[in-house]
Structure 1
Amino acid sequence: MSPKIRILVIALSLGFGLIFNILTKYFAALERPNLPLNQYWGEGKPPADYDQPKDLQIVRPFFGDDIIEDLSNRIGVRNVSLSKPLEDVNFEYGFNTNYLKSVLKYWKDDYLPRWREREIFIWQFPQYITHIQGLRLHYMHLKIYDDVKEVKKMYPILLLHGWPSSVREFYDLAPKLYEGSEESNIVFDIVVPSLPGFAWSQGSSKKGMGPAQIAVILRNLMLRVGYTKFFIHGNDWGSDIGSHIATLFPENVLGYHSTSCTLNTPLSHIKLFIASLAPSFFVPQDYTHFFFPLSKSVRSFLEETGHSHLQATKPDTIGITLTDNPVGLAVYILEKFSTWTNDTFKTLPDGGLPQKFKLDTLIDNVMLYYLTNSITTSQRIFAEANSKEHRQLNLDRVVTIVPTACARFKGDLSHQFATDFQLANKYLKLIQSTYYTKGGHFAALQEPDVLYKDIIEFVKKAEKYMI
């Protein structure tokens, strides 16, 4: 072999070796990180007994008439100073103030006079407070009676909401899971926590509590209430947190069901581009429009995620703006329920809100944020999830070995960049993937019957993997 050929062979070997190392660095699956299981997130230094289980407390907060009267006055004053929308503009510039006036009138003159009735509705399920890792944690807990367990199969399930939602998201779904149906002999013990920083759950006093750390807290909650093995359903941030629980603690998770399937890895981005070149080879032909054309998905994503950049960088600034500002808070939240349900709703004068939601439902959710003064603490999850420390965990590159299901609703933006072709690298047992042309981001509120059946079908499939 001539010296030139020998040098060429050595150079090619080094080049291929370098390429292999680069591909391994950016594409290979990573080991599970070891997160602290009892990290303290409360104020100041941890007390000596902060990690000791406390008695569970039944919670029934009462908001006085003076608070409700003050809220009514704030809504009324703000209503008279709203700017007129541009001519021929509906929700394209944001929440249309003409429609907003009718929402505020309903809130002030119809909803608030019935507040005690709404309180009874909100507290219809058993709700508790406990303390975990230095934080006060609120959750709903529906337990199946022993006599029912004798004739039905019972599994615990953890239901996780996101932003700008709350436990209110699951008020239609939870009874279906709890009571079961004639078609299924499966029922559930249900735990629905308010995420830390949301509603009555205390926000962290320290930096660094992102979705992975919240996953540890909520896994500890399930152990606290007596469940060592359970199913998870998550939406939005609840989906991210549920995925992390399934990834970090597979020994505790029977299956993970999501309506917000996402994946953010270099390999995933490459595979999405490949799929965009020939969509029908990678996505069932009837559902390629859920993802492609890619240009439309990117445009919709950019239009609808301005809040995410703001809250990931300066969550307290916008939080202060919305605090003690019920009208601003309502607009900021309700606008998401419009276009995250169907992006074409922005062309409608009412944002399409009455098509999928009752006003009482939407205002219930806003009231939980307003009365608990939790908008700022709820938004900090965006900043923590995008911190350098949280990104370095690279949990999207750590495989999830538990049975997984992905339910996609057409109006939701969150699934647009995660085909099964991509998800297969992360979720090694993706045993169910479904597509629904109706519904959007808040499927538990919009299509509870469809979602219930999807979860039941997933559990039946996941049973085959149980030991």
Structure 2
Amino acid sequence: MGVCLKLFGIILIAFIAIIYQGYVYISKPLDVPTFDLNEFWGPGSKLEYKEDPTIVSNKIHYPDEVIEDLRKQLNRTWIYHDPLENVGFEYGFNTNKLKDVIKYWRDDYLPRWRERESFLWSLPHLTTEIQGLRIHFIQTKVDAATKKSKKVFPLLLIHGWPGSVREFYELIPKLSDKNEDYVFEVVAPSLPGYGWSQAASKKGLGPAKMAIIFRNLMLRLGYNEFFIQGGDWGSIIGSHIATIFPKNVLGYHSNMCVANSPLAMIKGFIASFIPSTYVEKAYEDFYFPLKGNFFKLIEESGYFHIQSTKPDTIGTALTDNPIGLAAYILEKFSTWTNINYRKLKDGGLEKDFHMDALLDNIMIYYLTNSITTSQRLYAEGITETLNTEMGRVPANPPTGCARFRYDLAHSLDWQLEEKFPNLIHSKHYPDGGHFIAMQKPEILHRDFIEFIRKSLEFHKKNKISAEKKVKA
């Protein structure tokens, strides 16, 4: 009996030691990986490439023939399968609603295309070459008088998929408003392979390496320090910029706050047993029950698995196929805005968005033929995540998190704290979804301004602390 107890004790101690070592390993912060800050992504050899740092205006007029060809495609006789009885968007885009969308696109929107085109070019569009790629961006500038009377900061605004810079057209004027306490010189780039930004010709351009391109873009524009705001891929790319280049980042704000390290996942599991310890009762459903949220995520992430493995196959199916493209993209604007819209026969699309705005976004993908190249980011992102473990590398700049109830995923502050040790702003909103800059720009703007105030206080306090240490 004594021998058995000793053996049990040894096994128990060994088990505890293994668990402890495992905890130490997964909780240990990692150093920033080494990246080539001038990695070449263009076609051909870098040896034959000479970068042109010129910043030029980007204003493309699409010929009448292109628009007329699109109208003819939308006017073709398409065979639609009738939706199942009593089904909304649960099986995907309801074809009855799709017919209405295509009719509006063809008969109302396209006849007004020159008006919509003027609207799209109403903000200043520019391009420049970075690391072998032509990078497109919107940039707003602030006049000298405003700079003297207001606090003016550079802001990098980053979109995701299946969005575009069009998501920010209602937000940018608020950020540039001279009557606000804080005014921003906004830089809103199209991700490489999206819209008017050139796609990589080589494998490996994942979100961390896009972060390098965008940081280099900000330096090109003369912004050595700047704020960042982003959701979806913009959240991940912005997080990587804050992680790799903390000295350049005044603050990082996201409307999709997620932590995907092993420790964060364990914390989420622990918190599920006593949710009230980690989040207010009113917001428990953002995170729990884990099982229900997990199955929702599985149901809504089929696109992710396809695009992470075979982006060119699905891209080929959608290229030069405007009706398929509209169904594929607009379905995300339905269910990602509010999961309950799946039950509606019209997908709730026009509850939160004007159809013109949704079609503006579709037109950017269609006219630039960028659906395939945009989807490649999923394949590159998966590979990069597995190779770099960026989720375990701390991002030290002040960080702000705005959570909207119907977004795709959320992480608790407790889960975020290892990745973002200076999480100074964290709020929950009872409504809103994934495309919040387009859906509720006034709320996102208000939350962002609140974060800016806290960030400035953070920097002021830390400056005072640093000065005290120097004097001591």
The residue number in structure 1 matching 2:418 is: 425
Indicate conservation of the 8 Å contact 2:146/2:178, yes or no.
Answer: no
Match of 1:391 among 374, 386, 392: 386
- Relative to structure 1, the CA distance from residue 8 to residue 88 in structure 2 (aligned partners, 3 Å threshold; closer, same or farther) is closer
Instruction: Give distance in 2, aligned partners of 1:434 and 1:53.
Output: 43
Instruction: Give distance in 1, aligned partners of 2:129 and 2:450.
Output: 34
**Secondary structure, counterpart of 2:185 in structure 1:** strand
- Relative to structure 1, the CA distance from residue 95 to residue 5 in structure 2 (aligned partners, 3 Å threshold; closer, same or farther) is closer
Deviation at 1:185, TM superposition (A): 1.4
The residue number in structure 1 matching 2:124 is: 126
Match of 2:133 among 132, 135, 144: 135
Match of 2:151 among 141, 150, 153: 153
Instruction: Give distance in 2, aligned partners of 1:273 and 1:160.
Output: 31
**Secondary structure, counterpart of 1:261 in structure 2:** coil
- The one-letter code of the counterpart of 1:394 is E
The residue number in structure 2 matching 1:408 is: 403
Match of 1:111 among 94, 100, 109: 109
Match of 1:335 among 331, 334, 342: 331
The residue number in structure 2 matching 1:365 is: 361
Instruction: Give distance in 2, aligned partners of 1:203 and 1:403.
Output: 32
1:337-356 correspondence to structure 2 within 5 Å:
337-356=333-352
- Relative to structure 1, the CA distance from residue 13 to residue 450 in structure 2 (aligned partners, 3 Å threshold; closer, same or farther) is same
Cα distance per residue 1:414-439 (max 9 Å; x no partner): 22xx1111111110011111111121
Instruction: Give distance in 1, aligned partners of 2:318 and 2:310.
Output: 13
Cα distance per residue 1:285-338 (max 9 Å; x no partner): 221121112222112111111100000000000000000000000000000000
Indicate conservation of the 8 Å contact 1:338/1:352, yes or no.
Answer: yes
**Secondary structure, counterpart of 1:366 in structure 2:** helix
The residue number in structure 2 matching 1:44 is: 44
Question: Which segment drifts farther, 211-220 or 285-294?
Answer: 285-294
**Secondary structure, counterpart of 1:150 in structure 2:** helix
Q: Is 1:326–2:326 an aligned residue pair? A: no
**Secondary structure, counterpart of 2:403 in structure 1:** strand
Aligned-residue CA RMSD (Å): 1.9
Gaps of 5+ in 1: none
Instruction: Give distance in 2, aligned partners of 1:446 and 1:291.
Output: 22
Gaps of 5+ in 2: 464-472
1:51-450 correspondence to structure 2 within 5 Å:
52-78=51-77, 80-181=78-179, 184-387=180-383, 389-415=384-410, 418-450=411-443
TM-score by length of 1: 0.95
Instruction: Give distance in 1, aligned partners of 2:356 and 2:10.
Output: 72
Deviation at 1:13, TM superposition (A): 6.8
| Number of residues of Structure 1 aligned to a counterpart in Structure 2 | 459
Deviation at 1:20, TM superposition (A): 3.5
The residue number in structure 1 matching 2:34 is: 34
**Secondary structure, counterpart of 2:391 in structure 1:** helix
Q: What percent of counterpart residues are identical?
A: 51
Question: Which segment drifts farther, 26-35 or 319-328?
Answer: 26-35
Cα distance per residue 1:96-151 (max 9 Å; x no partner): 11111111111000100110110100001111110100011000000111111111
Indicate conservation of the 8 Å contact 2:41/2:131, yes or no.
Answer: yes
Indicate conservation of the 8 Å contact 2:308/2:382, yes or no.
Answer: yes
Indicate conservation of the 8 Å contact 2:337/2:435, yes or no.
Answer: yes
- The one-letter code of the counterpart of 2:160 is G
**Secondary structure, counterpart of 1:191 in structure 2:** strand
TM-score by length of 2: 0.94
Cα distance per residue 1:410-461 (max 9 Å; x no partner): 111122xx11111111100111111111210000011100000000000000
- The one-letter code of the counterpart of 2:233 is W
- Relative to structure 1, the CA distance from residue 28 to residue 326 in structure 2 (aligned partners, 3 Å threshold; closer, same or farther) is same
Deviation at 1:53, TM superposition (A): 4.8
Question: Which segment drifts farther, 219-228 or 19-28?
Answer: 19-28
Instruction: Give distance in 2, aligned partners of 1:461 and 1:32.
Output: 26
Instruction: Give distance in 1, aligned partners of 2:119 and 2:7.
Output: 78
- The one-letter code of the counterpart of 1:459 is I
Instruction: Give distance in 2, aligned partners of 1:370 and 1:77.
Output: 17
Instruction: Give distance in 1, aligned partners of 2:47 and 2:124.
Output: 29
- Relative to structure 1, the CA distance from residue 423 to residue 108 in structure 2 (aligned partners, 3 Å threshold; closer, same or farther) is same
**Secondary structure, counterpart of 1:386 in structure 2:** helix
Deviation at 1:59, TM superposition (A): 0.8
**Secondary structure, counterpart of 1:40 in structure 2:** coil
Indicate conservation of the 8 Å contact 1:414/1:441, yes or no.
Answer: no
